[in-house]
Structure 1
Amino acid sequence: MARPLRIDVHHHVLPAGSRKSKDLDASVGFRFPAQNVPWTPEVSLCAMDALGIDLAVLSVPTGMPEGPAGPENRRAARELNLMLAKICTDHPGRFGWFAATPVLGDTEGVLAEVAFALDELGADGVGLASSYGQGKDAVYVGDDAFDPVWQELDRRGVAVHLHGTQTPSSTPWPHALLGIPITEVPNETHKGAAHLVVTGKKRRFPNVKIILSHLGGSTLILAPRVAVLSRHMGSALTPEEIMDDFKTFYVDTALAAHESTLGLAKNFLAPDHVLFGTDFPAVSKDMATWYQKNLDGFYKDDPVQFKAVLSENALKLMPTLQKRLSGA
């Protein structure tokens, strides 16, 4: 049998000289695999070839470009998008990309950059973080201030990759082995998703196709808790409506592919709402292989759904990727 096509929808760039490209152990309790930094497209291509990945949809890590809002932040977003588009041009058939935006509170800047990235550069979707700002100043993606952005994304029917932010909790991380990317990022993804649901934004902007990173982080397991308790606290939606809206999210399998979590996603989401992802270069090839073996094993008796998760669901969600694969 021919090897199944694999499209990785969760694959980051680490621009040279950026804070993210350096060892983050001191600030968030995590370090990138040494063989992946400094990152270049060739580092990704080598890993993709080893992992049997045909095409990777690139995105910038959360927190990039760094704020505050203003001309410099806008320029940084533009430079990132020009870089992402160039990587795709330089390596036809291997990469797609989610557009970076200025900080979401800069409505004018975000709308202009989204239009430029999608219409002029040909981005396949848009990457967003679960929140913007730090500490008490952080604002989550369902905030009313961001409605003009969601309205435009809804009008366009854009695919959005939503990633949890590297946000510290009010206490230190529990242990040197349990830094922010391990313990906090999955919950930040949940908080962003839940904010969109309980405020009614998820159903208000139904044409935006939101992919939650890491199988939604803690979203799927906490959805029933939100359904009842947020209703109790005043949400206009019933528990059943809240659960229905959680089911409209898409998820990627990055750092989450195991029979326990894949079984939850299979039982909760429609078959076409699960997409393959790795989170490279935050993981090594060996780490990604562990998750891929779990994924392959889970779907070993269901080749139709296996192909759907590996590529067909992504192609349905982002039809422009088909053109990418052809090298056009």
Structure 2
Amino acid sequence: MDASGIDIAILSLPALFTGSVSEENRAVTRERNLAMFSIAQAHPKRFGFFACLPFLDDIQGVLEEITHCFDVLQADGISLSSSYGAGPHATYVGDDRYDAIWAELDRRHAVVFLHGAQVASSTPKPHPYLCIPISEVPNETFKAAAHLVVTGRKRTYPNVKIILAHLGGTTPLLAPRVAVLSNHMGCPLMPEDILEDFKTFYYETALSSYNASLAALDKFVDPSRILFGTDVPGEHIPISGKHTLRDRFSMRYTAVNVKMAKWYTDNVREHYGREGSQLEMVLGGNALFLFPRLQPSFVNQM
């Protein structure tokens, strides 16, 4: 963080979308949340955290973990995967089976960090340089966002503040396509309503910042909806093979380094540096509206 010039970070772990409804899944989730909590407690002026949840089909386990994370651990929000399950059996987060979870998050006015799942498409690896995290993960983020919009979940639970990872993937470019064609396919929302709902998401900049992509986002959402992110210290956790959930976490390796993050951060500074106030809001000011608990720490770092 110091090398990247970051004063405060919100920690998160990928949602535990592998496995199934089980006591092991609940236990590993609690273990991960306690680990992040301990870091935030040890360094309260440097860290907050997004709690992760058990496999989302475990409705009771999820609701219990939400209660524990907010009421006991004082989490700053929740991290969710775009879908849960494998292959054709994966279920996106906007599915009605998850309504009880969204209702609880809405009641709590929760912040949700939505990250694309590492789900392979029909052509998951067109080239060794285009592995799943590069091409598929951001597309999964877009698909989950679109799913929340066209199912009406985004407007049914308006108090949940959802942050889309990686500028929302292709969301700024494909939202108009969803707006018109989904309505044509029978979505009861009008195109203008669909676009408006897409604009209520927050978009973070990790591994996606370039003048053209930021310019597209600027044209699509209000400046207050853009948040700075880096994915550092990003780690890859294997999701396949005959390993327990704990084994997979022990096999993790660094997927994002400081040099990579600096390239994108420099682009953010260059793009928004023409207007100092907007750069300040993107680098931290906008986030403080979502996480007022961190405001004193942020001021003390300045």
Task: Give the alignment's TM-score, normalised by structure 1.
Answer: 0.83
Q: 1:263 aligns with which of 184, 204, 215?
A: 215
5+ long unaligned stretches in structure 1: 1-47
Q: 2:57 aligns with which of 78, 94, 105?
A: 105
SS at the partner of 1:266?
Answer: helix
Q: Report what 2:48 is aligned to.
A: 96
Structure 1 residues 323 and 158 mapped into 2: Cα distance closer, same or farther (>3 Å)? farther
Q: Does 1:57 align with 2:10?
A: yes
Q: Give the Å deviation of 1:67.
A: 2.2
Q: Report what 2:74 is aligned to.
A: 122
Q: Deviations over 1:301-323 (max 9, x none)?
A: 11111111111111101212225
Question: Which has the higher mean CA deviation after the structures are superposed, 206-215 or 90-99?
Answer: 90-99
CA contact (8 A) 1:131 1:165 kept: yes
Structure 1 stretches of at least 4 aligned residues deviating more than 6 Å after TM superposition: none
Q: Give the Å deviation of 1:326.
A: 7.5
CA contact (8 A) 1:65 1:76 kept: no
Q: Report what 1:180 is aligned to.
A: 132
Q: Deviations over 1:18-64 (max 9, x none)?
A: xxxxxxxxxxxxxxxxxxxxxxxxxxxxxx101110011000024x3
Partner AA of 2:4 in structure 1: L
Q: Deviations over 1:258-277 (max 9, x none)?
A: 11111111111111100000
Counting only pairs closer than 5 Å after superposition, residues 20-35 of structure 1 correspond to structure 2 as none
CA distance in 2, matches of 1:66, 1:321: 32
CA contact (8 A) 1:65 1:73 kept: no
CA contact (8 A) 2:14 2:79 kept: no
Partner AA of 1:286 in structure 2: K
CA distance in 1, matches of 2:53, 2:257: 27
Q: 2:181 aligns with which of 214, 229, 237?
A: 229
CA contact (8 A) 1:125 1:318 kept: no
Partner AA of 1:195 in structure 2: H
Q: Give the Å deviation of 1:325.
A: 4.6
Count of aligned pairs: 279
Partner AA of 1:253 in structure 2: T
Q: 2:107 aligns with which of 137, 142, 155?
A: 155
Partner AA of 2:12 in structure 1: S
Question: Which has the higher mean CA deviation after the structures are superposed, 200-209 or 280-289?
Answer: 280-289
CA distance in 1, matches of 2:42, 2:117: 30
Q: Report what 1:310 is aligned to.
A: 283
CA distance in 1, matches of 2:29, 2:296: 25
CA contact (8 A) 1:214 1:253 kept: yes
For CA contacts below 8 A with separation 6 or more, give which structure has more relative contact order: 1
Q: Does 1:202 align with 2:154?
A: yes
The percent identity for this pair of structures is 55
Q: Report what 1:211 is aligned to.
A: 163
CA distance in 2, matches of 1:283, 1:122: 28
Q: Report what 1:320 is aligned to.
A: 293
Q: Deviations over 1:235-255 (max 9, x none)?
A: 010111100000000010001
CA distance in 2, matches of 1:324, 1:131: 34
Q: Does 1:284 align with 2:236?
A: no
Q: Give the Å deviation of 1:171.
A: 2.0
Q: Report what 1:190 is aligned to.
A: 142
CA distance in 2, matches of 1:82, 1:138: 27
SS at the partner of 1:162?
Answer: strand
CA distance in 1, matches of 2:218, 2:44: 33
CA distance in 1, matches of 2:187, 2:226: 28
Q: Report what 1:75 is aligned to.
A: 27
CA distance in 2, matches of 1:172, 1:54: 37
Q: Report what 1:146 is aligned to.
A: 98
Q: Report what 1:299 is aligned to.
A: 272
CA distance in 2, matches of 1:141, 1:149: 10
CA distance in 1, matches of 2:17, 2:132: 19
